[in-house]
Amino acid sequence: MTAVDTKARRARSTGRAQPPHESPERRRLRRRREWRNLLSGLAYLSPVLVIFAVFLFYPAIKAGWLSFFNTNVRGLPTVFAGLGNYIATLTSDGFRQSLVATVSFAVMVVPTTMAIALCLAVLANEKLRGMAFFRTVYALPLAISAAAAAVVWRLIFHPSQGILNAFLGIFGISPVGWVTDPNVALISVSLTTIWMHLGFTFIVLLGGMQSLPTELYESASLDGAGRWRQLRNITVPLLSPVLFFVSIVLVIDSFQSFGQIDILTQGGPAGATNLIVYEIYQNAFVHRQVGYASAQTVILFLIVVVLSAVQFRFGERKVHYQ
């Protein structure tokens, strides 16, 4: 086999159809056109790249750099600490407590949100009169900010004037310290977060369900399959790519929750709701230990990366792509 045949065969295998006998002038013109297209694409992407560089890449690099230093009250590096901040973080009782609280929080939020959103999506996918109204209601949490939602839920959880304790009082149940009892506070914050995430999760799952082929459901109905069997054997397997995507987004968002914690409990009581991001916020902006907080940020980033990799490693096996 000649060199020309080898080059042509390699071009076909890579999907790039290049002429085997290309003159130097045409090659220069082609490369110039490729560079022009690349520069044009970068020019169109430049506003987004600038925003990413200023608000994402630069802070991430700066946090990684500061994590190796002790800093003053202004957040400026003073003494090189090496891995000292990382060792202090990993041996800190406060960080371990916040990590346990964050994992417990994610375990309560992620599967519950997915289960409720899936049930709502199944109901909203029915072709019934007035269903558009309920779809709008189910998606409403997506339009409400975390701060506004947390304020509303703080009123609901109020120990003496909240609607939850008023409802329990009807049945003679004593008031519950929803955000003041260390045994209940994390559950209360989880309920708030589940409600906040329902809108996005519901919309994504409903969009995935509406793209499923209706012929499968018609065939299953003719074979005598009920709604439960259709959900278990058709909907969930075909919807597995969407469920996999939603699970990753919810896990990442659970490890980054901050707004509802700050408004509802401020990390209390007794550190029961002191999640990792709130612990980082306290160290960086309250105690002014920016280097130490930067090390915690890097560790949180690595934890999220490892969790995402584990989800891709084991969760994608159960995904059925059409």
Neighbours of 209 (CB within 10 A): 17
Longest C-alpha distance within the chain, in Å?
Answer: 91
Q: Is pTM, for the whole model, over 0.85? A: no
User: In the structure, what pLDDT confidence band is assigned to residue 161 with cuts at 50, 70 and 90?
Assistant: confident
Q: What is the DSSP string of 49-105?
A: HHHHIIIIIHHHHHHHHHTTEEE-TTS-EEEE-TTHHHHHHHT-HHHHHHHHHHHHH
Mean pLDDT of the chain: 87
Cβ-proximal residues to 4 (8 Å cutoff; 6+ apart), any chain: 20, 21
Round to whole Å and give the CA distance between 299 and 303.
Answer: 6
For 278, the token pair is 């709130």
SS3 33: helix
User: In the structure, what pLDDT confidence band is assigned to residue 280 with cuts at 50, 70 and 90?
Assistant: very high
Contact 199, 142 (CB under 8 A): yes
Round to whole Å and give the CA distance between 39 and 284.
Answer: 40
Contacts for 80-87 with beta carbons within 8 Å, 24 or more apart? 81/291, 85/291, 85/292, 85/294, 85/295, 86/295, 86/298, 86/299
The answer to whether residue 230 scores a pLDDT higher than 90 is no
- If you classify domain 87-318 with CATH, what class do you get? mainly alpha
Enumerate the CATH 1.10.3720.10 domain ranges in the chain, comma separated.
87-318
How does pLDDT run across 24-39, given as a tens digit for each residue? Answer: 888 888 888 889 998 9
